[in-house]
Amino acid sequence: MSFRFNISAGEFFDLIRPAVLVISAVISIWVLASARKRFPFYLSLLWALGIVTLPLIVLPLYFVSLLLKRPRVEAIEHERYSRSSASHVKWRFAVPALYGFIVLFSIGIYLYRDNETVDAHLARAAQARLYENRTKTINEYKKALALEDNPHTHKLLAIELAAAGNWTEAGSEFRLAELGGEPDDSIHFRLGLVLEQSNHGSEAQSEFEKFLKTASCREEPADDRCGVARARIVAKK
């Protein structure tokens, strides 16, 4: 029995990144607690933060430093005193706990914000389109547009809406793409088809005529859709 996963390297990285960040944070908490026995607090904090940002590089270096550096006498005496003092024991664990809370909270905020960017929504829309999940594709494009008004995204959304049979909304999105300066010549042809489906024959004819005047139809080799546009214009006359 074999298992195949239709997923790219980039998508796989995005999938495991949250787990990698959390594991790095947990290891950095341990490093902070461990390093405080051997290094000044500021160096311990630097070791811990280094684990979060570059775990595969900093963690081996930290283990090497443990082999080269013997525990300081002051740290040993502090440890002995801590065992006999409940307040010092609580403080010894409170610092890593507070650090862990701050780091994990910061990672959570970062992942949430990164997950809600325009690029993240567009990436999920592209992936949903690949898997022919039209509903999710449309929703992701709409979320991207809520964050950034972009004519190209309006066009992509209009194409998906037209494929779903939502002619009225598709027409509106094509208009917004055109008004926004979308350079794709085919937008007139696509809009003409949508207007035909919406029973706006005269407007559809106008869009087909605009398409025939674009570089896609005036320059060689001409777009195959130019012939379709001419045929539809002739059929309506």
Domain layout of the chain by residue ranges: 13-115, 119-236
Residue 28 has pLDDT above 50, yes or no: yes
Residue 12 scores a pLDDT above 80: no
Burial 15-49 (b: 16+ CB within 10 A, else e): eeeeeebeebbebbbebbbbbbebbeeeebbebbb
Report residue 173 as tokens.
Answer: 């999105």
Q: pLDDT tier at 4 (50, 70, 90 boundaries)?
A: very low
What's the whole-number mean pLDDT along residues 42-63? 90
| Percentage of residues in the chain having pLDDT higher than 70 | 84
Cβ atoms of 66 and 44 closer than 8 Å? no
pTM recorded for the entire structure: 0.65
Q: What is the pLDDT of residue 222?
A: 80
pLDDT score for 234: 86
161, pLDDT greater than 90: yes
Residue-by-residue DSSP string for 16-71: HHHHHHHHHHHHHHHHHHHHTTTS-HHHHHHHHHHHHH-HHHHHHHHHHHHHH-PP
The CATH number of 119-236, from 3.40.190.10, 1.25.40.10, 3.90.330.10, 3.40.50.1370, is 1.25.40.10
Question: Residues 182-229: pLDDT tens digits?
Answer: 999 899 999 999 999 988 888 999 999 999 999 989 888 888 899 999
Among 138, 200, 204, 207, smallest CA distance to 173 is for 138
Mean pLDDT over 3-11 rounds to: 53
**Is 15's pLDDT higher than 80?**
no
Cis peptide before 71 (omega within 30 of 0): no
Residues 6+ apart with CB under 8 A from 39: 47, 69
